[in-house]
C-alpha cells in the first residue's frame, strides 16, 4: 500500500508542477508582415509614404493624376491611414482614403507596403517598436531579441534615429550609447 500511495503522490506532484505557471517570460512582440513588397492591380493594401515625403496630392480623375493637374484640393499626410493599388499606368495608383476613391501620381511621392525593414543586423522603421498595431514589416523580415530597432523620426534626407533595444523585461527601451 505504501508504494501505491507514493506513486499517487509523485504523480500528483508532477501534475501540479506541469500545470502551475513558472516564471513570467518576456513579452512576445507580434508584428504584421506584408505578404509582398509590391502593390497589386486587383486588391488594395495598406500603403505608407517614406523618403522625406510628408504629404500626397489626391486627384479625383485618373487623367488629372497622369498630368498632375489638381482637381480635388485634397492632400493627405503620412500620418493618415490609406490603402492603394496599382493601375495600368505605372506612375498612377488608386487610393482609398476615408471611404472615398482617389488617384495619386508617384512623381509626387513614393508608396510602400511596409514601414519597417532590415538593414544589416538592425531594423529601421518610421514608427516606434512599442506600437505594434502601426508596424508593418517588409516581407520575409523577422524581429529577433538581440536586434536594435532604429526609429527614424526626421525623414530620409536628414535622418535622425532613436535606438531601441529589447530589455530583459520584454519591453522596448531607448538605448543610449555609452
Determine which of 25-34, 62-71, 98-107 has the lowest per-residue pLDDT on average.
25-34
Which domains are present in the chain?
45-112 (2.30.30.40), 114-174 (no CATH)
Q: When comparing pLDDT for 17 and 98, which is higher?
A: 98
* Three-state secondary structure string covering 14-49: HHHHHHCCCCCCCCCCCCEECCCCCCCCCCCEECEE
**pTM, full prediction:** 0.75
pLDDT tens-digit series, residues 3-61: 887 777 777 767 655 554 443 333 446 899 999 999 999 999 999 987 656 788 999 99
CB 134 within 8 A of CB 93: no
Report the greatest alpha carbon distance in the chain: 93
Amino acid at each position: 500500500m505504501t508504494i501505491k500511495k507514493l506513486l499517487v503522490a509523485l504523480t500528483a506532484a508532477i501534475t501540479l508542477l506541469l500545470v502551475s505557471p513558472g516564471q513570467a517570460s518576456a513579452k512576445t512582440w507580434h508584428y504584421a508582415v506584408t505578404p509582398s513588397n509590391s502593390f497589386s492591380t486587383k486588391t488594395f493594401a495598406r500603403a505608407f509614404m517614406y523618403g522625406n515625403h510628408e504629404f500626397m496630392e489626391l486627384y479625383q480623375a485618373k487623367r488629372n493624376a497622369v498630368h498632375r493637374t489638381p482637381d480635388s484640393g485634397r492632400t493627405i499626410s503620412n500620418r493618415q491611414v490609406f490603402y492603394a493599388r496599382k493601375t495600368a499606368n505605372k506612375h498612377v495608383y488608386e487610393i482609398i482614403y476615408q471611404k472615398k476613391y482617389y488617384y495619386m501620381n508617384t512623381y509626387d511621392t513614393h508608396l510602400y507596403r511596409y514601414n519597417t525593414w532590415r538593414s544589416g543586423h538592425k531594423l529601421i522603421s518610421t514608427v516606434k517598436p512599442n506600437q505594434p498595431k502601426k508596424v508593418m514589416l517588409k516581407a520575409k523580415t523577422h524581429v529577433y531579441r538581440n536586434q536594435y530597432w532604429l526609429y527614424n523620426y526626421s525623414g530620409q534626407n536628414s535622418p535622425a534615429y532613436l535606438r531601441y533595444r529589447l530589455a530583459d523585461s520584454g519591453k522596448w527601451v531607448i538605448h543610449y550609447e555609452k
